[in-house]
Amino acid sequence: MNLRYRSRLIVALLLVAAACGSSDDGSALNDPVAPVTTESVPATAPASEDVSEGDESSAPQESSPTGFELTVGSCEQAHEFSILCEAYDILSREFVDELDLEKLAAGAARGIEEFDSDEPGASPAGVTVCPLPAEDFEATCSAARNALATGSATVDSVVQAAVAGMLAFGLDDPNSVYYTPAVLAQLDEERSGTISGIGSLVQTEEVVDGDSQRCSIISETCMMTIVGVIEGGPAEAAGLAVGDVMLTVDGQSVLGLGTDEVVSLVRGEEGTAVELLVDRDDEPLVFVIVRAPIVIPVTDAEMLDGDVGYLRLSQFTTNSAELFRSDLQKLLDDGATSLIIDFQNNPGGALQAAIGVASEFLDEGLILRTLSPVEDREYEARDGGLATDVSIPVVVLVNGGSASASEVVAGALQDAGRATILGTATFGKNTVQQQFSLSNGGAVKVTIARWVTPAGLDFGEDGILPDVVVEYPDGATTQFLVDEALAYLAG
């Protein structure tokens, strides 16, 4: 079953390439540009508490023309709606912020109302129970009754639409999403390493009253834009550029699709082609790109003029801290007296890797703090950093494709005054997600924690503002910021 929504689209940053790993301790700063990498956990049992009053809640409603009846009852009674109760229970226990139950229920209702079924005429005759995990969900059951009364949708499709809508419209969090069983199967296949991509970074934003903000569903106003291409990858070779707005994938409009659905469309078997229609400065352009494995060197180091050591980290994998340390030691041994650390288009990854990299420049102190309903945690710098000597100037390069773990390191070094951050504002991804399986074979990915800098700054919306803001000129590559950093260090 495909969940399609009218005039909508999902937001986020995503790497149509390789996924980064989760953190070593289970507190993953999931890569916002790749599929979820945390392990699924068993679905919780549907809530058993009956929040209805008396017998009125379970009284049969007026029969529809199809002979189908929907009654209101408890989660324990509502077997066909079980995943709605499961998702609600997961959100109640795990979601990082306090839930607005009225908004959550309204989001579920909106998901049903905007759902476009591709399985018409399959509603069974008989009585089905719609659950009230909270009293506010009467509006959800009303929307379900209206949708099913027409006989144009299945109970299963309506329930999935309710769960999708609850997360998409009820949370104000573009990173919490519902995966249908079909989409989840595609993501699992991608994680197996059998799927290739094109090597691009995209971000979805909506402009409201002149200000851009994250959105969670792709629509006429919420657009998916290319914010980076992987050097040497298929997208760069084909001519895809920063600022291009995605319109279709192999002829299918991205309107109404979720981020992960778009990623699944773009990815495919190595050697096969995908056709993208994009808008570039109000001109439609078509690119046919041959998919290939996206192999990104984790580190790249070299000595530059003026005894400047240059070290690029492309992603935070579980072993990137060790690779980073090895290259950093070589640069210092070769006589580097100042350092340029390049996080341009680094989408993030493992939290423990971020702590390890930051600890190379900080001899003590807090690196970040994570906040969650379960517990708050603080992460301190580790001993033995190679470049903690403040006489070694450090410049960290960032841009709109620098996210998650990249922001952990940049934020910690900025707060400590240990490095100068140079470039453009970062992506603004400071949340942690975990995936929870549902009894229908689908899953929900839920934001379970938020991290803040040592100074307590939460820049999940606007990203990290560099100390030295340098805007890219048209056509500039990542080398542009490297040259700007060299000029900065030269005084």
Among 32-36, 239-243, 306-310, 474-478, the minimum mean pLDDT is found in 32-36
Position 52 scores a pLDDT of: 31
pLDDT value at position 399? 94
CB atoms within 10 A of CB 116: 14
DSSP 309: E
- Are the C-beta atoms of residues 150 and 67 closer than 8 Å to each other? no
Query: What pLDDT does 358 receive?
Result: 98
Q: Mean per-residue pLDDT for 401-412?
A: 94
Bridge partners of 445? 177, 435
pLDDT over 50 (residue 110): yes
Is pLDDT at 441 greater than 70 in this prediction?
yes
Render the burial of 408-441: b for 16+ CB within 10 Å, e for the rest.
Answer: bbbbbbbbbebbbbbbbbbbbbbbbbbbbbbebe
pLDDT at 192: 54
Enter the tokens of residue 315: 């992603």
Local structure of 64: helix, strand or coil: coil
Across all residues in the chain, what is the average pLDDT? 82
pLDDT band at residue 306 using 50, 70 and 90 as cut-offs? very high
Measured from the Cβ of residue 334, the count of other Cβ atoms closer than 10 Å reads 12
Q: How confident is the model at residue 297, as a pLDDT? A: 72
Q: Model confidence at 205, in pLDDT bands (50, 70, 90)?
A: confident
Q: Closest Cα partner for 89 from 141, 150, 41?
A: 41
Domain boundaries, the chain: 37-174, 197-290, 299-486
Higher-confidence residue of 147 and 339: namely 339
3-state secondary structure of 126: strand
Q: Looking at residue 55, what is its pLDDT?
A: 36
Q: What is the mean pLDDT of residues 136-146?
A: 93
What is the DSSP pairing of strand 68-73 with strand 13-15?
A: unpaired
Mean pLDDT within 148-161:
88
Q: Which amino acid is at 349?
A: G
**Residue 116 and residue 384: Cα distance in Å, rounded?**
58
What average pLDDT does range 105-112 have in this prediction? Answer: 94
Q: Are 27 and 351 in contact, with CB atoms under 8 Å apart?
A: yes
Q: Where is pLDDT greater, at 7 or 478?
A: 478
- What is the C-alpha to C-alpha distance for residues 354 and 67, in angstroms, rounded to an integer? 59
Note the pLDDT of residue 116.
63
Mean pLDDT of the region 369-385? 93
Averaged pLDDT for residues 306-322: 93
Judged against a pLDDT cut of 80, whether residue 97 lies above it is answered with yes
- SS3 state of residue 253: strand
Q: What is the pLDDT of residue 195?
A: 60
Q: pLDDT band for position 466 (50/70/90)?
A: very high
Residues annotated as catalytic (active site), given as ranges: 404, 415, 429
Calculate what percentage of the chain has a pLDDT beyond 70.
Answer: 81
The angle subtended at Cα 27 by Cα 24 and Cα 32, nearest 5°, is 100
pLDDT at position 102: 96
Q: What pLDDT does residue 477 have?
A: 85
Identity of the highest mean pLDDT range in 13-27, 189-203, 255-269: 255-269
Domains 197-290 and 299-486 share a fold: no
Q: How do strand 431-437 and strand 443-452 relate by DSSP bridges?
A: antiparallel
Q: How confident is the model at residue 254 (pLDDT cuts 50, 70, 90)?
A: very high
User: What pLDDT score does 83 carry?
Assistant: 96
pLDDT of residue 214: 74
DSSP letters of 211-244?
A: EEEE-SS--SSEEEEEEEE-TTSHHHHHT--TT-
| Residue 24: other Cβ atoms inside 10 A | 15
- In tens, the pLDDT along 410-419 reads 999 999 999 9
Q: Tell me, what DSSP letter sits at residue 361?
A: T
Q: Which CATH number fits domain 299-486: 3.30.870.10, 3.90.226.10, 3.30.428.10, 3.40.1710.10?
A: 3.90.226.10
More confident residue, 401 or 62: 401
CATH number of 197-290: 2.30.42.10
Tokens matching residue 114: 């905007």
Q: What is the predicted pLDDT for the residue at 191?
A: 58
Phi, psi of 245 (to 5 degrees): -105, 125
Q: What is the DSSP string of 19-41?
A: PPPPPTTS--B--TTS---SPPB
- The CA distance from 136 to 105, in Å, is 6
Higher pLDDT pick, 51 / 101: 101
d(CA 428, CA 61): 47
CA distances to 147, 327, 446 from 38, rounded to whole Å, are: 35, 29, 11
**pLDDT band for position 256 (cuts 50, 70, 90):** confident
By percentage, how much of the chain surpasses pLDDT 90?
A: 55
Residue 387 contacts residue 413 (beta carbons within 8 Å):
no
CA distance 246 to 284: 10
E strands along 350-460, which residues?
366-371, 377-380, 394-398, 420-423, 431-437, 443-452
Asked if 115 contacts 158 with a C-beta cutoff of 8 angstroms, the reply is yes
Whole-angstrom CA distances from 434 to 23, 127, 171, 406 are: 12, 35, 15, 19
Q: In whole angstroms, give the CA distance from residue 81 to residue 93.
A: 19
Helix, strand, coil distribution of the chain in percent, nearest 5 = 25, 25, 50
Nearest-angstrom CA–CA distance, 104 and 89: 12
What are the b/e assignments for 59-92, b being 16+ CB within 10 Å? eeeeebeeebbbbbbbbbbbebbbbbbbbbbbbb
pLDDT (0 to 100) of residue 68:
66
**369 CB-side CA count, 13 A:** 13
Helix (H) / strand (E) element for 127: namely strand 126-131
Rounded Cα distance between 227 and 399, Å, is 9
**210: pLDDT confidence band, cut at 50, 70 and 90?**
low
pLDDT at site 287 = 98
Average pLDDT over residues 88-102: 95
User: How confident is residue 29, by pLDDT bands cut at 50, 70 and 90?
Assistant: low
